Each structure stands twice: as C-alpha cells, then as structure tokens.
Chains A and B, each alone.
Chain A
C-alpha cells in the first residue's frame, strides 16, 4: 500500500503527461502481482466497493473526533477523504504491518454496510496518513488525480513495451487484477485467447481535412453526426457497448444491448431520438439532449422513454465470425447495407452517403449543413482497410466552417506545464446591450488554444500590463482586446450569467486592431443557437 500511496501522491502533484506516464510505468514494473493489477483497476475506474461511501468515512470520523473540529477541518481541506486521513487518531499499541493493495481490496470487497464500521478501522490503524488517503480513495473510487483510463493503459504499454492497441483490445477481456494481461505483457506469455469475449476493437480515426482537395472517385462522403462514437460488440450471446476511449458504457444505454442479437462488431454514432438531426428512419436530438444521458451508471425508465438511444451505423468490423477489418471500405459498406434488414430499425439506422457531382459540389452541400446541426462531412477512401488509430490519407473529417463571434478578453489564468509562467487561459465576453450606452460585458466562454507561441508571449504581456485585479491564479484585465472566437455550436446554459455556453471555443484570430465597442453583443450570439 505504501508504494501505491506514494504513486497517488506523486500523480497529484505532476502536471506533465510524460511524467505521469513515467511514474505509472515505473510503479507497474516494480510492483508484484496482483497489487499492480488492482492499482491499474483503481486508476482506470474499475473498482467499486458498495459498503464504503463518503458518508461512511464521515461517520467513522465523527465517532472518533470532536464533530466541531471535524467540520472546521473538512471545510478547510475541502476533501472528505483527505481530511479523514489527517484526523484519523493514531492507534495505541501494536498494529499489524500495512496491508498490501490486494489485501486491502479483499478486505474492502468483503465488507458490508453492517460491518464496515468495525472492519474499515482495522485497516486504517495499520496505515500512515498517506496510506489512509490512498485507502479512502481506493475504497470510494473517483481518484481525481488527472489520470484518464487511456493514460493508464498507455503507461501500461510503455512499461512493458507492448502495443497500446493490443492493450486496449485485451483490456476488457479480463477483470482486475488482470493477471493474464501482466503475464502476457510483463512475463512474455502468449497473447491471451479472446475469441469468445465481446472485446473492444480500437477505432479507426480521421484526420482533419486541411486545404486538401480529394477526388470523389477515390473517396466516399458521409455526414458527420453530432453524437458520440460507439462500438457495439456481440460475441457468444453477450453484447457490450464501448465508447470512443474503449470504456464499457453498456450500463448507460441498456436499450441497445438487447437490440443486437447476431455476432457482429459495429461502428457508428450514438444519438437519441429527436427532431434536430435528420436520418433515414427519423431524426435525432441535439447533442445537448444526448448529454443528459451520458455519464450515468444507471438509467431511469423515464429517460428510456423520453430520450431513447439508437445507433446510426457507418461501418462493420466483423459479422458472423468473419473479421472484416482486413477488407476494403467499399466491401465493408456493402456488407453493412446487407446487414441492415437483420437489425431492428427501432435501434439502428444507416448513415447515408452524400452524393455529389464533384468536390466543389460537395463543398456547396457542406455549406448548407449548418442548419441541420451536423458537424460536417466524413471522407473515407473507398479502398481503406480498417486500421486502428489515425493513418494519413485514409479518412478525413471535414467539419463545416466554425461559427465566429468577436469577444472581449475579461480574465486570464496561468496555464499548466510549459505554460505555467504564461497567462494562457482566457475568459471572454460579449456585450449585453449597446456598449456606448453603458452596457456590460458578460462572460460567454473560455479558450486556451488557437494562437501561436509568439502571440502567446504578446498576450501574456498585455495581461500583465492591464491587470485590474488578482484572484489567486486569475487576473481580471482592462477591457482592451478583441478575440475572434471560433466555436462549433452554442446553447442555453444556466451556468453562465450570459445564459449561453459555447462548444469547443478557440481563439481564431487576435484582433489587435479592433476596438472593444465593436465586439459582438449577446443577442448576436443567441441568434446562433440551433437547438
């Protein structure tokens, strides 16, 4: 447990991605089975102990520490697990040695709501403050240390010099502590046999199309839908749904699991029913509506009836036991079209191809897509095999031109990593009326990309020279600078005072020349809502 606790603390204080990878890889190499497997499960959010909740910890502490002192301390620290790790009274007399991670996991899994109050303290008494912190974080999940499950898998691949695609593919075949995975990667055993398991297959991804002209004889065009990319896998009677990052999201969209009853691996866009986005068998709702259903581990009946999910299919990776990833796109497309009658149209439709005379005609069609709340177009080489990751020249995403609006810089915050000495995160606003008649700026978004290093230096200087107020790492600046901000869409939001929130805002151009009173007004931005 000490090594795991040290790893968590090191990760808490590390901002650089490479350094995080190095720390995790080092831990995985130095730690024996099954501890390292449990640690990986914790890092990839794969652990859940029903008996231990944040309230369990709070109650345990309030039995041992004066409640007033507990509350004052908790308020100061802001994190229950951390506060409890500090305030847990050091045990009197002899205690056992610190538990290993797997010992702790075994003990936590065996705990029930009835005995957690007597069992958990026995573990805590054997740990120091850092160990108690790690145990609480392990027990309650949600480490919040800036490590995604993808990052942990990349670290695993780096630690043992294996391909991260293979790690992704095998990952879901095994539960923690992933002994088979470590046997293969760390000890050189044969690759695991996964034929009978509904495994995630790494996605084929697209490059942005930049100032490129493609020949439509070589490339097919499809709409790019504004949903989430998913993979639906059915093997040996079991169906699983995976997200773009390879996370198993079956529980979030249970209605899709029963809908696929034949052995296949399907690639498509998950959407919920609505009217905003047209398709073959009816419309889909905007991304906003889909967002209501994301990230939930359980779904209410109401949600299932009000916002049912379906998948708009655009590729098939295998069907009836035949792996199609080695076949050309054209072949896979024909297979997919042939497959459609075997799939219930309540839960599946086919992503339509966009027919155009030539590239210019396609560009014209693309121009008209904004009204349909479609993200743009996909261009797929007709002879492209299904290869994981992003290979140049095979698939392109050709997003419709972004929406643009002129905003005024209001606040700036220091960046992280290499940028930690620069004010590189910007909050900007639009006018809530006529600026010459005394209108105010209201924040509408935040961006930290879209400018060159030279521009960043210049922006940093402006921020420092025009600072009005400091709030910790944030500076409020005089309203002197206009940004032309690009964004994908804008929708209503209660979180912002302006009532609006942008998706994917980035700095398109710094308008050094533009006077601030000429920046856009809130109502101009509001007109761009397409919900």
Chain B
C-alpha cells in the first residue's frame, strides 16, 4: 500500500491527481483538467479535456472557445475518473458556476475549494461545508485586518452617493466576471430598478449570467448613449477602465470600486477611488478560519494569497498546514 495521500501531488502550476492522470485548475495546458471556476487564474484554454460545471464551461467557451471534449458536472454530481478516483462538484459561493471539488480515493477525502466566500450571493448557490482529510484552500484575504462589511452597508453607500449627485454618475469598477453581476443583482435586490449602464467589455458576461437565470434588470450600453442619458445613473466598468480615457464620455463620474482591497485606505487612494465599496467574492479572515474549523481537516494546504498569516493561525491553533506556492495566481478580487 502506498503512503497516505501520495495519490495527490501539488505542483507550482496545479494539483495533480496521479491515478486519474488529471490536474485541478492547472495554469498551463494539460491533457485533462478539472476546473473549479471561470476566473483566468484558475481556468485556461487549450486542455485536451475539461471537466467543470455547465456555467463554468460556458464561461470558458466565451473566453477560450472550448466546445470539444468537455464534461459538464452538476452541483452534487459525482464523476468517476480513471484509477478509482471519484470527483464531486460542490457549490463554492464564489461566482456563477464556481465549485469546490471533492476527490475520494482509497477511503481518503480531499477538498479543493478553488476560490470561495461564505456570504449570500444572488448569482450563485452558497458554499457548503464538506468534511475531508485534506482541505486545499485559497487565502486571498488571509490577514486578520480583512473583515468584509455587510453588503447592505455598501449598497447604501453607493445609492446615497448616487442620490446626492443627480447630475453626475457613479462609475463602479468591478471585475467583469462575478463582481459586476453580483453588484447589479444586489442593487436589484435592494429595489434599485433604474437602468444600469455597462462598459462594452461587460456585455457578453452579463448576457451569459442572464442565460443562466440571473435577473439583472435593465442594462444599457454606454456606447449607445449620450452623456446626458447617464446622469443620475450607475455605470459599471472593469477596474482597468476607471481612470482611462474611456471615462471621459461619462457625465462627471464619481469613481467607485467594488473590491475587498478597498478596506485599506491606501489601496483606494492609489487607484484614485473616491467611493470605496468593500465588496468581495472571497472569504475574509474570519470566514477563512471559521471554515477551517468547521471542515476540521486533518491538514490544510494553502494554494494562494496571504499564506504566511494563515499558516501562523494554524500554528497558533495547533493545526497542520502547508503552503503550496502556486504560481500565476495574482491578487484577485480586483
């Protein structure tokens, strides 16, 4: 008999599942990939075969044109891989289609979270705690200073500012996959029914969300409208467009940004953000540590983020942990 968990091997560019000869979230093209969600640092094109939820596959198709050799897996569904490995896709609550992957082999259980959060999100089902032996987690906001506020507070800040300046618009920088749609859906949830304007780069992803049953209300494209139409409205763009020439076509925009990093004043100032909205699709410090306590694994492996602090927390709580030093995973939630 081989050593415990020798069948699962972390590499800098992904987690390798030896008996099934497949990779989880590999950062380069492989023969067979199991993908947790559609963000670019987890999902890449060019794999021989791809296993993911239908929404994640649709997102990958939009970005990389993959139609061939795909295996859709629903939440709660188990696929039998070669070599006696079972893979079950479980909601991660991160973005549309995001999943944790539970791998079972020889009586051993490993959960790979991909990215996740514990807050409610109208665009995807909530994270489910899944007991396991090895818990492979992210740590994007793995510092004790990160405590994301309730999203209702941030929505109120945004709508208050919008109401105070009826002749201007509020331009919200939000990541094009996930954050943008969540902000729109949360606005709808608190009763904001006005049209929301979109940067051109946002359109296709929003339509994809709608195809998967997420109601985003009335959306209009900035390029189809005059400055005056947008006064008193919310405009959403990718963070990279916030201070770009593109924004000159907007009516005196108030610059906002929706990101967990906005908690730190210097981060907001660095980007010329006047209205920081602390909205994150990742677990904050307290959710990361609570989740580890609830999952209560034999050992935690940390894929990416602020691993030093989370390792320290494990040490202080007499828990076993190691950092995997995965490459190509930048500061997300941006």
A76 to B263, CA, bound (A): 12
Return the chain A residue nearest B144 by Cβ: A69
A414 in complex: contacting residue of B147, B243, B273, B308, CB < 8 Å: B243
Residues of chain B touching chain A, judged by Cβ–Cβ distance below 8 Å, are 143-145, 147, 243-245, 247-248, 255, 263-266, 268-276, 306, 308-309, 312-313, 316
B270 in complex: contacting residue of A65, A69, A73, A473, CB < 8 Å: A473
Which of A312-365 touch B at CB < 8 Å?
none
A276 to B244, CA, bound (A): 48
19 contacts between A and B (CB under 8 A): A12-B269, A15-B272, A15-B274, A66-B316, A68-B309, A72-B143, A72-B309, A73-B144, A73-B309, A76-B145, A76-B264, A79-B265, A82-B266, A83-B145, A86-B144, A86-B263, A414-B272, A420-B243, A421-B243
Q: Is A13's beta carbon under 8 Å from chain B?
A: yes
A10 to B111, CA, bound (A): 43
Residues of B within 8 A of A82 (CB): 264-266
**Do the beta carbons of B144 and A13 come within 8 Å of each other?**
no
Interface string of A3-23 (1 = CB under 8 A from B): 000000100111100000000
Residues of B within 8 A of A96 (CB): none
Q: Is A249's beta carbon under 8 Å from chain B?
A: no
A9 to B266, CA, bound (A): 12
Residues of B within 8 A of A65 (CB): 144
A210 to B199, CA, bound (A): 47
A209 to B265, CA, bound (A): 43
A68 to B314, CA, bound (A): 13
Return the chain A residue nearest B316 by Cβ: A66
**Do the beta carbons of B269 and A13 come within 8 Å of each other?**
yes
**Do the beta carbons of A78 and B273 come within 8 Å of each other?**
no
Interface string of A411-436 (1 = CB under 8 A from B): 00010100011000000000000000
Residues of A within 8 A of B245 (CB): 421, 460, 464
Return the chain B residue nearest A146 by Cβ: B269
Chain B nearest Cβ from A189, distance in angstroms: 33
- Given contact pairs A76-B145, A420-B272, A472-B270, a sample of 9 additional A-B residue pairs in the complex whose CB atoms are under 8 Å apart: A9-B265, A12-B265, A65-B144, A73-B309, A76-B143, A78-B266, A86-B263, A473-B243, A473-B271
Interface string of A467-500 (1 = CB under 8 A from B): 0000011000000000000000000000000000
A87 in complex: contacting residue of B145, B268, B269, B271, CB < 8 Å: B145
A420 to B255, CA, bound (A): 10
Chain B nearest Cβ from A15, distance in angstroms: 7
Inter-chain contact total with CB atoms closer than 8 Å: 70
Which of A65-92 touch B at CB < 8 Å?
65-66, 68-69, 72-73, 76-79, 82-83, 86-87
A79 to B245, CA, bound (A): 32
Interface string of A166-181 (1 = CB under 8 A from B): 0000000000000000
Residues of A within 8 A of B312 (CB): 66, 68-69, 72
Residues of B within 8 A of A76 (CB): 143, 145, 264, 306
Residues of A within 8 A of B276 (CB): 13
Chain A nearest Cβ from B111, distance in angstroms: 25
Residues of B within 8 A of A416 (CB): 272
Residues of chain A touching chain B, judged by Cβ–Cβ distance below 8 Å, are 9, 12-15, 65-66, 68-69, 72-73, 76-79, 82-83, 86-87, 414, 416, 420-421, 460, 464, 472-473
A9 to B276, CA, bound (A): 10
**Do the beta carbons of B269 and A69 come within 8 Å of each other?**
no
Q: A414-B243, A421-B243 are known contacts. Are A13 and B268 too (CB-CB below 8 A)? A: yes
A76 to B261, CA, bound (A): 11
A460 to B271, CA, bound (A): 18
Return the chain A residue nearest B245 by Cβ: A421
Chain B nearest Cβ from A470, distance in angstroms: 11
A11 to B270, CA, bound (A): 15
A464 to B244, CA, bound (A): 11
**Do the beta carbons of B145 and A73 come within 8 Å of each other?**
yes
Return the chain A residue nearest B266 by Cβ: A78
Return the chain B residue nearest A79 by Cβ: B266
Residues of B within 8 A of A79 (CB): 265-266
Chain B nearest Cβ from A6, distance in angstroms: 11
Q: List 9 tightest A-B contacts by C-beta distance, closest first.
A: A86-B145, A73-B145, A72-B309, A68-B312, A13-B274, A420-B272, A73-B143, A69-B144, A420-B243
Return the chain A residue nearest B268 by Cβ: A13
Chain B nearest Cβ from A144, distance in angstroms: 10
Residues of A within 8 A of B272 (CB): 15, 414, 416, 420, 473
**Do the beta carbons of A72 and B306 come within 8 Å of each other?**
yes
**Do the beta carbons of A13 and B266 come within 8 Å of each other?**
no
Return the chain B residue nearest A66 by Cβ: B316
Residues of B within 8 A of A14 (CB): 274
Residues of A within 8 A of B143 (CB): 69, 72-73, 76
A9 to B269, CA, bound (A): 11
Return the chain A residue nearest B274 by Cβ: A13
Residues of B within 8 A of A66 (CB): 312, 316
Residues of A within 8 A of B147 (CB): 86
Residues of A within 8 A of B144 (CB): 65, 69, 73, 86-87
A434 to B244, CA, bound (A): 37
Return the chain B residue nearest A473 by Cβ: B270
A250 to B74, CA, bound (A): 75
**Do the beta carbons of B145 and A421 come within 8 Å of each other?**
no
A9 to B264, CA, bound (A): 11
Return the chain B residue nearest A76 by Cβ: B143
Chain A nearest Cβ from B258, distance in angstroms: 15
Residues of B within 8 A of A464 (CB): 245
Return the chain A residue nearest B271 by Cβ: A473
Return the chain B residue nearest A90 by Cβ: B147
**Do the beta carbons of A77 and B266 come within 8 Å of each other?**
yes
Return the chain A residue nearest B256 by Cβ: A13
Chain A nearest Cβ from B29, distance in angstroms: 27
A72 to B268, CA, bound (A): 20
A46 to B234, CA, bound (A): 41
A460 to B243, CA, bound (A): 13
Chain B nearest Cβ from A184, distance in angstroms: 31
**Do the beta carbons of B247 and A69 come within 8 Å of each other?**
no
Residues of B within 8 A of A78 (CB): 266
Residues of B within 8 A of A86 (CB): 144-145, 147, 263
Chain A nearest Cβ from B233, distance in angstroms: 19
Return the chain A residue nearest B252 by Cβ: A418
Chain A nearest Cβ from B309, distance in angstroms: 5
A15 to B276, CA, bound (A): 14
Chain B nearest Cβ from A385, distance in angstroms: 43
Return the chain A residue nearest B262 by Cβ: A13
Residues of A within 8 A of B145 (CB): 73, 76-77, 83, 86-87
Chain A nearest Cβ from B146, distance in angstroms: 8
**Do the beta carbons of A69 and B266 come within 8 Å of each other?**
no
Return the chain B residue nearest A10 by Cβ: B274
Chain A nearest Cβ from B230, distance in angstroms: 16
A76 to B245, CA, bound (A): 30
Residues of B within 8 A of A9 (CB): 265
Residues of A within 8 A of B306 (CB): 72, 76
A466 to B308, CA, bound (A): 39
Q: Which of A9, A416, A421, A473 has the most B CB atoms < 10 Å from its CB?
A: A421
